[in-house]
Amino acid sequence: MSITGSQFDKVAEEYDFVTNLLNDNTFFIANMPIEKGRALDIGCGTGILVYELSNYFSEVVGIDISEGMLEFANKKRQCSNISYLKMDAENLSLGYKFAYIVSRTTFHHLRDISIVINQMKELLYEGGKIVILDNVSKVETPPTYVYILGAIQEFLPNCFKFGVKNAVRVFKYNTSKSWLEHLASDKYLSEQKYYEIYGKLLPNCTFRRMNWAMGIIWEKPIVSMITE
């Protein structure tokens, strides 16, 4: 499923607030490659993961199609070794390779996953890693009431974790018209589909089921031989 960047343009600021509050980069940090040259984040949004990776890698590139998200990233999460580019994941145009290519909660927006994965494999150094995390669901597009019920259920625990003011802001965002409209156009894969689709595209990858998400880890085999 592909969306225009404009859906995210509308929600960039509140998206950033909520995602940053609930953020957890552990999966991406735990699966980094040994080589820490250049990293790429596909669908980087407001740069939350890019910024974290810039602590470990010599250079980090974040690409996204939403001008609103990139504007926010440039304003709030800049560093000398970070660059943000407006680019479609399905038409990656980067003249260099990477040691680490990541993507979080972006793949369900893409029209053709295989095009993107094949480009990612090309852009990766041998021994480099691809790590993807995306939503998993038994129902392709859950009905809106499911998200509203979820937001109600999370409200009290969020009050304890983040304080009432922040919990109200999260609740308002999660039940806002623009966010619910966005979610109504999302299409998620089932656990079984993940195994079928990604298992073929990334042979011998590892799957990690985490609550609402599926994590995928793939290391590019080293095939080059040193010839005398």
Ligand X SMILES: C[S@@+](CC[C@H](N)C(=O)[O-])C[C@H]1O[C@@H](n2cnc3c(N)ncnc32)[C@H](O)[C@@H]1O
Q: Which residues pair with 39 in a beta bridge?
A: 60, 100
Nearest residue to the partner ligand X, using Cβ: 45
Residues near 196 by Cβ (< 8 Å), separated by ≥ 6? none
Q: Which is nearer to ligand X, 159 or 166 (CB)?
A: 166
DSSP string, 122-134: HHEEEEEEEEEEE
Contact (CB, 8 A) for 99 and 126:
no
Question: From the CB of 59, what's the least distance to ligand X, in Å?
Answer: 18
Distance CA 124, CA 33 (A): 11
Nearer to ligand X by Cβ, of 19 and 190: the residue is: 19
Contacts of 6 (CB under 8 A, 6+ apart): 66, 68
The residue ranges that bind ligand X (CB under 6 A) are 2-3, 5, 8, 19, 43-45, 48-49, 63-66, 69, 88-90, 104-106, 109-110
Among candidate residues 147, 116, 129, 155, the one with its CA nearest the CA of residue 212: 147
Q: How far is the CB of 161 from ligand X (least distance, A)?
A: 19
For the bound state, the minimum distance from the C-beta of residue 107 to ligand X, rounded and expressed in Å, comes to: 9
**CB 162 → ligand X: shortest distance, Å?**
17
Residue among 83 and 105 whose Cβ is closer to ligand X: 105
Nearer to ligand X, 27 or 159 (CB): 27
The one-letter code for the residue type at 42 is: I
**CA 143 to CA 11: how far, in whole Å?**
20
Residue (106 or 174) nearer to ligand X, CB:
106
Nearest distance, CB of residue 128 and ligand X, angstroms: 19
Q: Rounded to a whole number, what is the largest CA-CA distance in the chain?
A: 67
Closest distance of CB 83 from ligand X, Å: 15
In the block, which residue shows the tokens 């609103």?
68
